[in-house]
Amino acid sequence: MSANSTTLNGLSTESWIVGYYSLFLTIIGTILNLFIFIVLYRAPFRNGNNRGTLYYMRTIAIFDILILYGWNLDHYLAQIYGLTLLRYSVPSCKVVTFISYFTGQVSAYLRVFICIDRYFSLSRIRRVWIHRPKNTLIIIVCIIILVLLLNLHILIFVCYRRINGSVAIGAQYYRFYPLWDYVNLGVYNCVPFILMVTFNSGIIRHLIRARQTRIIRNSRLNHRSITITLVITTSLFLIMTIPATVAFAFFIGYDKTILRLLDGIFYTYHISSFPLYMFTFHEFRQECVNILRCRKPQ
């Protein structure tokens, strides 16, 4: 069936798929990430050597929800109802644009610091300052504030009403697009790519060399299990998000079908944490089973 064929309600097949898949991601992503947040606050995860890492994981779950309510939700409204939040009003345009850039960038650097945290957990016998829960919270707050300041100009200058009453999605005083897409590519992908690959390489090397050491055996939350989970998660981040970010920065005028496909893969990543944790993180899977069976935490 071609992309131009229509469904019963007059939408093209492609528009129907893109619209309802975006809605599916929003609903399922919200449910699954909220469930992750709840599980990671269960008693077995509130203590132990990995508390700092779990702070990152909980915060990522929240930002993985928020990112789905930016351009992703706008895709659903635009394709199914013809309502584009970016052009509906100046406030909605500012909020959607800001959320889409801000949440993605925060999510990326939280994952970078997870890699750093895991690297030092495996490479140092004694805990270093980065592992202290208080310092982890300070790092998270600093990431949020710095990314907020970086994108604050969107809320101030981007999106305005033209003389004819329509909403412009750019900025009056400087060329927002494609400039900010280039900046986003560097901030959201390039720098995290370099840092994640560097620290993940060190993590894998230490996992191979230190697999049987006492520090791994005696962790209440198994270092090896949670580390492998997070290495897979950050690796998928690079694989699933870079193509879409590059495409929208440099190839925005090309085949819309390919761009929509890459965008779908991009947002699919932000609902993937739950199945990844279930398959690779034994303690998380065990707590999910306890919740479903209405068992009290051990």
pLDDT by residue for the chain (298 residues), tens only, comes to: 344 555 556 678 888 888 999 999 999 999 999 999 999 888 777 765 566 788 999 999 999 999 999 999 999 998 888 888 888 899 999 999 999 999 999 999 999 998 888 888 777 656 667 767 788 999 999 999 999 999 999 999 999 998 888 899 888 888 898 889 889 989 998 899 889 888 888 887 877 775 545 544 444 344 556 777 777 888 888 888 888 888 877 877 676 778 888 889 999 999 999 998 888 888 888 888 888 887 665 5
Instruction: Say what the pLDDT of residue 125 is.
Output: 58
Peptide bond into 192 cis (omega under 30): no
Distance in angstroms (rounded) separating the CA atoms of residues 145 and 94? 18
Give the CATH superfamily of 13-161+169-293: Rhodopsin 7-helix transmembrane proteins (1.20.1070.10)
* CA distance linking residue 117 with residue 59, whole number of Å: 15
| CB contact at 8 A, 269 and 103 | no
H or E segment to which residue 159 belongs? strand 158-161
Contacts of 63 (CB under 8 A, 6+ apart): 103, 106, 107, 110
> What local confidence, expressed as pLDDT, does residue 3 receive?
44
**pLDDT score, position 2:** 42
Distance CA 142, CA 61 (A): 18
| Cβ contacts of 199 within 8 Å, gap of 6 or more | 112, 115, 116, 118, 119
Q: What pLDDT shows up at residue 91?
A: 93
Tell me how crowded residue 189 is: count the other CB atoms within 10 A of its CB.
22
Global pTM value: 0.86
Which amino acid, residue 246? V
Q: What pLDDT is attached to residue 126?
A: 64
- Looking at residue 144, its pLDDT comes to 97
